[in-house]
Structure 1
């Protein structure tokens, strides 16, 4: 039985776990991790004041098929296509695979290691060194075959904590992938809604061009009767040209929006040209679900990802604390070592070694303490990031809801304005034909109805855009099904006495 002890770190007290094992004698002036701690505390959804802004309305959380509420099969097909073809999805999947591979690699540290080796060496031994005859001064061929196994007892959980940290990071990567999917889906829906807006504005612009042509025709007739001059005719023709330019500008925007949709899908620009004009409906009524602040933490993938990163740092902190305590590694090796081939497999050539190896940290000029401080700093940063993500999520929901309610209120007045503007425009055109109103009155009425039509269209499309954004702010149908709960640093240590948190 051999005992190998290496001294290369801070000192550790005499520790016990299970049967009494004396690991090392206590040294004077020991250095430990006392006084090193984190300053941040993870926030809970219910601790923020949201009763007035996010009052429960017995609504439902968005389902994964939230886009179906708008009744446009083409939009759903575009999103499905993007989730298969967009390179960002492949990037997210690659990051998940990388994180899972690292977790699997970390889990290997929990298991014994078994290795086999064989070497053949041809060597001339010195004739004057301490080499026994008959090898002295002779060429010899050495055969060495060895089967070895080692196992880190991991008494203080360092390897377990490293594995748990890697698993939590893998779960964070999975939540990141859901963020990518949700962001991509809502980006396509909002770009598609913008395409719908442009088509509605195009219809308004086309109608406006038709009205301007009508005014030009009426003006030509009035010139023949002496009611107008060429000045009014030139103004009417200028207005026709301006309306035509506006229509062409909208057509250009439609093409670029199609290209944007094609890029979001993950296809070339020609794919966007094959998209049919949208046929979006109004969508569902907007009602917030009850108990929103508390439940939102499991409905938003960005909050879940931030939560898992906090959890990963919890284990990283505990792993760094375990570095302050001794490592015990059990090893065994057996094989054959002989000169030549004839006696290689003889019993006399066998070699066997077995025993523990102990790494006892005594002094390292503060390296372990600095490492632990760094881990706590990362933990504090992760907690602050989580808290900020939660605050941002609550604010996003409240903001989207407020914008929807504002759009609803504005639409009431906008519809009244539109109706009255259309009535005034019809009266002005009739009076202009009859010769009892001038061209300026008609143009003013025409501009008023154009602005009213555009305002109603924009409010409707803005409201639907905010509906899409609200679905995203509420998680877009994502649900975190894990039962794991966040634990503060030291919790894993406390599960293995005699460790006590050094706060």
Structure 2
């Protein structure tokens, strides 16, 4: 009787026994996770009332180059520099690489495995155990070389679900990288706009110093003619010193903002010193695109990441359910095994084996149920995170749009107030020179003009900052292409349809 025939018979008997155990296991294990379930459901973006706060205006979604609308070539160059050298992006890319490696590991679990092993063992065998004389009681050198193959049948889809979960996590990490990218570019644009704000305020402060110097000279002339006293002169000098201090303060703020931009670029602080004065324009007209909020779920990378995590946890739940059923692993080995070196490469040293290995959890003190409960809890958390991301996104779009519209309305009144305050200052200065009014009237008019100039400057810069924030709230040009149906949120169904438990319920 050949070794191969014996091997085949043993394998056949083992398979029959395995199938018997498997059938019994399925019948007895169907109710193992009865009562464990999750009720969380992902929200539909259209279930939220947004028609009034987020109206359809036939606008366009931001493009990836949304910052170009402000017409400042330096801003575009700074963003491009950050995208190539920022350590923050490097961190995000490393997380994507780690997730990709994990998905490759999970994919390997769904495929057959082949290994080659060789061992050389010098051993003294017992003379009173299994090995008979003459080998028993002697020292022997055993040579063993084996080629082994194994394959998990994965009847209940555990490995396949693990692979799907890993792929979903990979997609989530890629979306996270887009979140980091959007946050970085938005931060640079807003910091750059802040730098532009400080330069405009510095111009106003410099103009104010000029005004205060002019008032001081007029006051000196009025003292010479007996119209004013040293009190007015000292007041003028104090106001002039205060204006110069404000100018110095703005110089310091310009410097620190340059350093902040350099840090966002991933460069040293000296890089910030080479940034020229911004030349930002007004930008495009603000109009919301149609199909809000439905299309927002595929335009916001944070929502896409949250959606993929829900999808990943769905597969994690199915994987945990499959743990309740038998694992059947087919294995085979062929090779050479001999004492000594002389007979190692002979036909008599051949060895082979084949057969299934079956693992069935019978009593685990509730470990599998606890693990499944944990997966459901993670799934519920992922769903809640997705729903919250959707609510936050809608709120941000509505808030930024409201801020833009409010700022536009404020600018009309602020510019009217600015024109009036400037005219009042000019009239007060003429009257002060002519001796028709006192210094207090001029100073009040000057303060009002200064406040009006600052208010208009701040509103204009705030308007641009809100426009940048709105572009970010709309996704900053991101479009999810990871799934043909990416605009639809994942279903919250975590039933393992490929396991017999569903048919048993």
TM-score (norm 1): 0.94
Aligned 1:20-99 pairs, distance under 5 A? 23-25=22-24, 31-99=31-99
Output the CA distance in 2 between the equivalents of 1:71 and 1:4.
76
Given that 1:315 and 1:489 are in contact with CA atoms closer than 8 Å, whether structure 2 keeps it comes out as no
Correspondence 1:102 to 2:102:
yes
Per the alignment, residue 288 of structure 2 pairs with 288
Per the alignment, residue 225 of structure 1 pairs with 225
Which structure 1 residue ranges, 4+ long, deviate > 6 Å from structure 2?
27-30
Change (3 A) 1:370 1:501: farther
Per the alignment, residue 4 of structure 2 pairs with none
Cα deviation, residue 498, structure 1 = 3.8
Cα deviation, residue 341, structure 1 = 1.4
Change (3 A) 1:125 1:422: same
Q: Bigger shift: 481-490 or 372-381?
A: 481-490
Output the CA distance in 1 between the equivalents of 2:95 and 2:379.
22
Given that 2:141 and 2:339 are in contact with CA atoms closer than 8 Å, whether structure 1 keeps it comes out as yes
Query: What does the per-residue CA deviation read over 1:92-115, in whole Å, with 9 as the maximum and x for residues that have no partner?
Result: 110000000000011000110111
Output the CA distance in 1 between the equivalents of 2:218 and 2:185.
50
Correspondence 1:500 to 2:499:
no
Per the alignment, residue 177 of structure 2 pairs with 177
Cα deviation, residue 123, structure 1 = 1.8
SS in 1 for 2:50: coil
| CA RMSD across the alignment | 1.9
SS in 2 for 1:351: strand
Cα deviation, residue 32, structure 1 = 1.3
Output the CA distance in 1 between the equivalents of 2:504 and 2:300.
34
Per the alignment, residue 446 of structure 1 pairs with 446
SS in 1 for 2:228: coil
Cα deviation, residue 499, structure 1 = 4.4
SS in 1 for 2:352: strand
Output the CA distance in 1 between the equivalents of 2:447 and 2:499.
80
Correspondence 1:377 to 2:377:
yes
Cα deviation, residue 36, structure 1 = 0.7
SS in 2 for 1:25: helix
Given that 1:317 and 1:489 are in contact with CA atoms closer than 8 Å, whether structure 2 keeps it comes out as no
Output the CA distance in 2 between the equivalents of 1:194 and 1:487.
43
Change (3 A) 1:405 1:501: farther
Aligned 1:12-411 pairs, distance under 5 A? 23-25=22-24, 31-411=31-411
Cα deviation, residue 21, structure 1 = 7.3
Query: What does the per-residue CA deviation read over 1:24-53, in whole Å, with 9 as the maximum and x for residues that have no partner?
Result: 426779751111111211011111010110
Output the CA distance in 2 between the equivalents of 1:191 and 1:128.
84
Cα deviation, residue 369, structure 1 = 0.7
Output the CA distance in 1 between the equivalents of 2:499 and 2:442.
89
Give unmatched runs, 5+ long, in structure 2. Answer: 1-9
Given that 1:100 and 1:170 are in contact with CA atoms closer than 8 Å, whether structure 2 keeps it comes out as yes
Output the CA distance in 1 between the equivalents of 2:139 and 2:243.
101
Given that 1:331 and 1:354 are in contact with CA atoms closer than 8 Å, whether structure 2 keeps it comes out as yes
Given that 2:29 and 2:325 are in contact with CA atoms closer than 8 Å, whether structure 1 keeps it comes out as no
**Residue correspondences, number:** 489
Cα deviation, residue 259, structure 1 = 0.5
Cα deviation, residue 171, structure 1 = 0.5
SS in 2 for 1:190: helix
Correspondence 1:469 to 2:469:
yes
Given that 1:150 and 1:331 are in contact with CA atoms closer than 8 Å, whether structure 2 keeps it comes out as yes
SS in 2 for 1:156: coil
Change (3 A) 1:130 1:479: closer
Per the alignment, residue 490 of structure 1 pairs with 494
SS in 2 for 1:177: helix
Output the CA distance in 1 between the equivalents of 2:441 and 2:350.
112
Cα deviation, residue 22, structure 1 = 6.6
Cα deviation, residue 127, structure 1 = 2.6
Given that 1:36 and 1:502 are in contact with CA atoms closer than 8 Å, whether structure 2 keeps it comes out as no
Output the CA distance in 1 between the equivalents of 2:261 and 2:67.
16
Given that 2:156 and 2:499 are in contact with CA atoms closer than 8 Å, whether structure 1 keeps it comes out as no
Per the alignment, residue 10 of structure 1 pairs with none
Change (3 A) 1:214 1:4: farther
Output the CA distance in 1 between the equivalents of 2:131 and 2:504.
55
Per the alignment, residue 9 of structure 1 pairs with none
Per the alignment, residue 455 of structure 1 pairs with 455
Cα deviation, residue 132, structure 1 = 1.6
